[in-house]
A and B are shown apart, each in its own frame.
Chain A
Amino acid sequence: MDIDTNPPTDGNKSSARIQQQSRTRLRQQKLRYTFIGYIIVLCFLAITQFIGVGFFTKGFLLSRHVLPNIAECVDNSCMRPAKYDKAIFLVIDALRFDFTIPVAGSTEYYHNNFPILYDLAQKENGLLLKFIADPPTTTLQRLKGLTTGSLPTFIDAGSNFNGDHIDEDNWLLQLRRANKTIAFMGDDTWTALFDDYIDPQMNFPYDSLNVWDLHTVDNGVIEHLYPLIQKENSTQWDLLVGHFLGVDHVGHRYGPRHFSMKEKLNQMNEVLEHVVSNLDDDTLLVVIGDHGMDSTGNHGGDAPDELESTLFMYSKSGKFLKKDESAYDVSNEGRNYRSVNQIDLVPTISLLLGLPIPYNNLGFPVDEAFSSHEEILTASYNTLKQLKTFRDNTPNLAHTLLEQFDTLIQHYHDKTYSEQDILLMAKEYQYLSLEQCKSLWARFDLRLIGIGLGILFLALTFMITYSRSIPAVRVSTMSFEFIGSVIAMTMLGLVLSFSIYIVLKPTDFTIWNCLAIGTALGMVIGFWAPIMDRFSINFLWNQIIDFFMYNFNSWSFMGIVFVIAHCLIFASNSYVVWEDKMVSFFLLTFGIGSIYNCAVNTELSRPARILGLSHAITFTIMTRLASMINLCREEQRPYCEATFKTTWWSVLLLHVISYILPMFIASFYKLSDSYHSAAPLWIGTGLSFLLFMNAVYWTFEYVQNSEYFNNMNLIIGIPLIKSLKLAIARLVLFITLVLANFSWSRGPLCVKLELKEENSDESDVSDEAETPGKTATILGYGNVYGSSYFLLVLNFTVAIMLTTKPIGAVSISMLIIQILSLLELSDILAIRKNLISPIIFGLLGYQHFFSTGHQATIPSIQWELGFMTTETIFMPFTHLNIVLNTFGPFIIVSLAIPLITLWRIVPSNKPITVLSQIITNVTTLITYHLFTGLSSLLFAAHFRRHLMVWKIFAPRFMLSGLLIIMLNLFLIVVTLWFGTGRILTQINRIFGK
């Protein structure tokens, strides 16, 4: 593009320049001022939203109140003499029940490879049962349940990473109080929970969360287990706990249908053979699985596959009182096999080892674990007594089920009924008690939920007003009024809520709750005050009407329809389950709509129409292709076939992409003539190289995991591949996140100065044109902002592509092309300022969230990618990888959102106007997410008694809540503060006149 400026006359030149300089400086100062104002206002808004999400979460994910009492048996009346002196307690993580029983005709790697348990259980001194876990099926929850006998709460699942210290009564604590010695080896979750009770001399924890490491934990356990069970060492301990993780890790890493599963199960078989052959006569061997795994090898939910695991008991001297043969029916993968609840193990093991039953226990002894009916009856009597004590001391339970208990105790003394009948009645009582506890503890704090929803609703109404209702020009001048009044009102709110707390002393409200409510309300009032000062409600209402009257066209209609439809999705579990398809359908509707519009748009010239058509078609094709990549959630079966798998061709595609994607991006740059200076370096060199490194990383990963290559005995050993992978991952992440962003902050431009000799026009560009006879053309002038800003997007994209599995990286590269063609389209179709553009961006984020192998479920979180850069958990890096992997598409989209305004515009004389348009788009994106978020929260609260709440609605609300927090932070810090701030000041400094 040519720029012609009339040079000032010689006389005025210097003074004019000084004047201009001061004016420029003034303008820059003003820009900076406005910019800071915006950032602070958005921060306040974000805080309001965080408080809302926080309240809701607190009310929804209520934690259970724990009784601190410890069971004591002064007169030994509540326990029995120990049947076994010692016990070996082996946990095989994720040992699903069907792994251990014979499954005729199955050729799966996970069947028939662990026969020892079933074989031993055929004798009368062995016992194999199906073991039903309580959801959530995460190891920490299970260990708590298996030792305390109590029910888990959902909120603990999130703290699996921290491994909370246990403060409830449990049988390890009871053992310790009886002066027994506990030896431990394996999963370090145990150490986190029971560190106080384990003998420090015999404590061998191993890192549990590195799920890509299949052998370290197991080999460690074996290394310490074998010597300790030798005759000469067996006097050193009374309980030996071993926790194997290999089976679980194989599941997480490869899924159960992988040849490593066979190896692992065979190894476990050998271990047990060894243990059994070295077993003392008076030692009880207990082998359990803490949970199962689903068909993808993950766990955490409440599907039968995840809940069903194994309980095995064996002793050389003992005898188990087994039931009828038909109870142990292994046909049909053991569907009708007798099952016991996981918490039933707690009273069983306590009574067998001669301990008091833990105070909070809710379970009932396993019948078969005892050798006579007599024993079972006393065991059940002890358990009933313990249950009664527990219930008497729990406020909400004390006054119920009293009659049943009394009649039950009467029966025990009268012996009018047979032993079997009494046992049945006792079980009935325990069942009722358990169900009562379940319903009681699944209670929600509706007040907190309501407060959270209310605050979010207020935030949303303000957000709509801020982003769409008030003219953007006015908003830019109002920031400091907002800041003043928000600070004042927040102070007021804090003081008021504090005094309310002091005066009224609400019993069930903490001071922090009060202050948070005060802050949030103060902020909302603080936001509304200046608006009400300047505008009236009438004005705002008229603004809305004006929008529908004058600015309303098919595009905005479409945008509103999408937002409403997306919000309504949460009203039904089916639509939440199929959200991935719905989002794709919306995007495809937009794609086809834009093709149609380009085709019939009468205002476009022929070349523009053809260009527009090609972009629209590219967008639609990419959207359609990306919609074909999916990971099925459990509820989508059998109508869904997962295509998200790591296969040889997906790795190959990565290599192809490392050539093709830079080419595509370059061609988009060339369209606006801006593939110059920084662009070839960034895209042609940097991007290609880093994408190639990604491909190499995933090739190594593939080689390391494939059965074929493992059998080939490659020259490069596994350790070398491992360290190469670590090196590549660290290098790529360092370059993209640190180095490239730093160099970007120096301000790369994608323009080129072209001087033409023969032109006679008198024109120059600032000082750079040397002689007046030449014409200087700045190539890429038409897309100065966009071409430079997009390089920042690319930095993050490469990092995200590394942390995404191969087929997901393919989807991310489609996202980049979608974004670019969408930007071109919004220029051609003139929908830059329409609300459809940010909404489509928001939808793109969702689409690629799903197509990078995620779903709104807990098992679909790809934990294993946390260990790309470090071998163990290392605070920021492990978490960074998981965040990049999970929220990657949203990050890219929210980073690209300013491009709606910035793409293909010439340097503006009014940077503040550009900024205010960017803010409008950014806040519209936040509004969109707030809409969907609020709706998903609302329906999660509404369906809190729904059968599917923990499976469908609760995970979805967690995703929404996290998205609101993550997007606000990222948009403010990276997109606005780092990205937009830099680019606007930079270009204003260079081109600003």
Chain B
Amino acid sequence: MAKGKSGRKQVSFDDVDVSDLDVKPEVNETVEKQQAKPTKSVVPQLKNSSVLIPFHNLFVLWQMFQMGLTEDIEGTMTSGLVILLPLQLIYNYLIINQMILSKKASKNLNVPLLIISSVLVSLVLSIPVFVIVIFMGAPIYKFTIKSFLLALHLSQLIINPIAMLYTLDFENFKKLFYQDYIYREIFSNVVLSSSLLTVGGCWLGVIPIPLDWDRPWQQWPITLLVGGYAGGVFGGVIALVVRKVRGCSEISV
């Protein structure tokens, strides 16, 4: 079992003087703000968010455990990636489809090219993810392949949806950080929220590793993988709830 811990940054560290935790008390304020400043969100809006909760994460995870993740980690993670990639392609299609439906993306886009290149870009960007995983304390000499496989999975779960959401236009993505209430934006978008909580879940995934239970699933990097996958789904659900709450409050005002 690897005792090095990994994961990635947990939250965004922005100097916004607001707590993202208590959404409810601020609802009125939100509405006022939105009325004062007509919706100029830089986050691409999606029509039907509930479709975009990455439920396929759970399937991939279940499949990996079925294939014996605890016995042969490297092999199973590779085949898990093989399962994940086509699912990510479909997921990408769903994202772009929702965006086209909500008229955020023009129909002239070369959809297949976009979908495939987004997956490829995330594959390449797994290298910086790997570096960060190492920086966060993943073992350096041992378990290199496992850590890299973890990075491949994570970059698919984190970077790929974001790349798709912004149709590979990262300049647009930067604008997000100029927002006043960045967390509110993030948590009302299913894709962003699930990406953020994938990171958070992965960060929390280190917690079971040191326990002296000697269970096979405590091996590196299974807990992080599970944390990341589960965090993604959780993030999607959270975003849906936040949207509901915000939607209700908008109607009530």
Contact = CB atoms under 8 A, between A and B. Distances in A.
Q: 3 closest pairs, A vs B, by CB? A: A578-B210, A597-B13, A554-B13
A553 B15 contact: yes
Interface in A539-591: 548-555, 557-558, 572-575, 577-578, 581-582, 584-585, 588-589, 591
Contact of B137 (A555, A574, A585): A585
Contacts of B1: 639
Contacts of A577: 210, 212
Contacts of B5: 581-582, 584-585
9 contacts: A553-B17, A555-B13, A574-B212, A592-B8, A593-B9, A596-B13, A597-B12, A624-B135, A639-B2
B251 interface: no
Interface string A339-360: 0000000000000000000000
Contact of A589 (B10, B17, B212): B10
B11 A558 contact: yes
B207 to A, nearest CB: 9
B210 A554 contact: no
Contacts of A549: 19
Contacts of B169: none
A624 B137 contact: yes
B211 interface: yes
Interface string B1-34: 1111101111111111111000000000000000
Interface in A594-639: 594, 596-597, 600-603, 620-621, 624, 627-628, 635-636, 639
Contacts of A574: 210-212
B135 A554 contact: no
B19 A548 contact: yes
B114 interface: no
B91 interface: no
Given A574-B210, A589-B9, A602-B178, 17 more contacts: A553-B13, A553-B14, A553-B16, A554-B14, A554-B15, A557-B11, A578-B3, A582-B5, A588-B137, A589-B10, A597-B12, A601-B15, A621-B135, A624-B134, A635-B212, A636-B3, A830-B15
A440 interface: no
Interface in B179-211: 203, 206, 210-211
Contact of B135 (A550, A575, A620, A639): A620
Given A549-B19, A585-B5, A596 B12 contact: yes
A572 B211 contact: yes
B12 to A, nearest CB: 6
Interface of A: 548-555, 557-558, 572-575, 577-578, 581-582, 584-585, 588-589, 591-594, 596-597, 600-603, 620-621, 624, 627-628, 635-636, 639-640, 830
Contacts of B2: 639
Interface in B157-185: 174, 177-178
What does DSSP make chain B's interface, helix, strand, loop or mixed?
loop
| A550, A591, A593, A603, most chain B CB atoms within 10 A | A593
B136 interface: yes
B132 interface: yes
A573 B8 contact: no
Nearest to A600: B177
Interface of B: 1-5, 7-19, 132, 134-137, 140, 174, 177-178, 203, 206, 210-212
A574 B214 CA distance: 11
Contacts of B12: 554, 596-597, 600
Contacts of A620: 135
A585 B211 contact: no
A704 to B, nearest CB: 32
Nearest to B212: A574
Contacts of A578: 3, 210
A558 B212 contact: no
Contacts of A635: 212
Given A577-B210, A581-B210, A596-B9, A589 B136 contact: yes
Nearest to B4: A581
A638 to B, nearest CB: 10
Given A574-B210, A640-B3, A602 B17 contact: no
B14 A575 contact: no
Contacts of A830: 15
Nearest to A836: B13
Query: Would you call the interface of chain A mostly helix, strand, loop, or mixed?
Result: helix
Nearest to A584: B137
B117 to A, nearest CB: 24
A605 to B, nearest CB: 15
Contacts of A602: 177-178
B11 A551 contact: no
Nearest to A552: B19
A592 B210 contact: no
Contacts of A601: 14-15, 177
Contacts of B11: 554, 557-558, 593
B211 A600 contact: no
A360 B15 CA distance: 68
A592 B4 contact: no
A551 B11 CA distance: 17
A602 B179 CA distance: 10
A603 B14 CA distance: 10
A564 to B, nearest CB: 13
Contacts of A596: 9, 12-13
Contacts of A627: 137
B154 to A, nearest CB: 14
B137 A592 contact: no
Contacts of B4: 581
Nearest to A597: B13
A573 to B, nearest CB: 7
A951 to B, nearest CB: 13
A585 B3 contact: no
Nearest to A576: B210
A986 B246 CA distance: 57
B27 to A, nearest CB: 15
A636 B210 CA distance: 9
A600 B186 CA distance: 15
B203 A589 contact: yes
B136 A588 contact: yes
B157 to A, nearest CB: 18
A698 to B, nearest CB: 26
B13 A593 contact: yes
B17 A592 contact: no
B17 A639 contact: no
A592 B9 contact: yes
Contacts of B177: 600-602
Contact of B212 (A555, A573, A597): A573
A582 B7 CA distance: 13
A591 B13 contact: no
A626 to B, nearest CB: 11
Nearest to B134: A624
A552 B17 contact: yes
Contacts of A553: 13-17
B7 to A, nearest CB: 8
B136 A585 contact: yes
Contacts of B18: 552
A445 B14 CA distance: 49
B14 A597 contact: yes
Contacts of A640: 3
A519 B42 CA distance: 61
B141 to A, nearest CB: 10
B225 to A, nearest CB: 17
**Residue among B16, B135, B178 facing the most chain A CB atoms (10 A cut-off):** B135
Contacts of A551: 17
Contacts of B174: 600
A297 B25 CA distance: 61
Nearest to B178: A602
A591 B13 CA distance: 11
Nearest to B183: A554
A549 B29 CA distance: 14
B14 A600 contact: yes
A554 B11 CA distance: 7
A581 B140 CA distance: 14
